[in-house]
Structure 1
Amino acid sequence: MRTGKPVYEHLFGLPLWEDFAAEPGLSESFQEWMSRKTTLLAPSFTDGYDWSGVRHVMDLGGGCGTLLAALLDSAPFLRGTLLELPETAVGAFGELSATSAANRISVVGGSFFDPLPTGAELMLFGG
């Protein structure tokens, strides 16, 4: 907090995402942990909100798309876009292609620091 820089960068000398790019195993482990955590929490998220007024959701930095897939499974009227870093988006596309909501999900490789794709009524951003 005192420096205004992320703790990870302060401790390890480079941003977390650069470390992931340099160490694929670290990135894979992180994505697996996030997916498991999200799988446990998804039911309270999908069931805890009335999604009927929404038609298109974008998940910013949504990893492999676990939360978005769960949401679209619970609300068949929804379409979803997953925005994730290009390296992660490739794997997410493969995983999401095998879900029951595959025809309602698009995967975009990019960064949420850049201009976002348009069309979504609601953005998800969490971790």
Structure 2
Amino acid sequence: MIVEIKPQILPDGLKQLEMWLSEKGAEFHPFSLSGRTGFVTTSKWNGDLDTLRQLPYVSNIIDCGTEHQLSSRKFKSDTTTVEIGDEIVFGANQTVLMSGPCAVESEEQVMRTAKFIKE
């Protein structure tokens, strides 16, 4: 579960939220990502979601239903792209195949693999 906090939260409010989560048995880790801040929690806790939603410093609760919550589409629905130069784009609908020196044994291996993929 991801608990997003309001941007204007004061340090005391942050401590209160941390204490509340701890009292409910939640393991949590703070995050700050793309202008959003909050806590990523484990699913094992004894708290009540309605009570958590009503806390004055909580802006949103996202139940991702996955271990990898911050990379979940429920948390970040838009696709991330990274551009290198004018021609290389990672993400979007592009498939990028990369290999480093440790992944390539010979030029012949690369050519054989490329031919196989092309076919």
TM-score, normalisation: structure 2: 0.26
Task: Select the structure of larger CA radius of gyration.
Answer: 2
Indicate the structure with greater helix content.
1
TM-score (norm 1): 0.25
Whose strand fraction is larger, Structure 1's or Structure 2's?
2
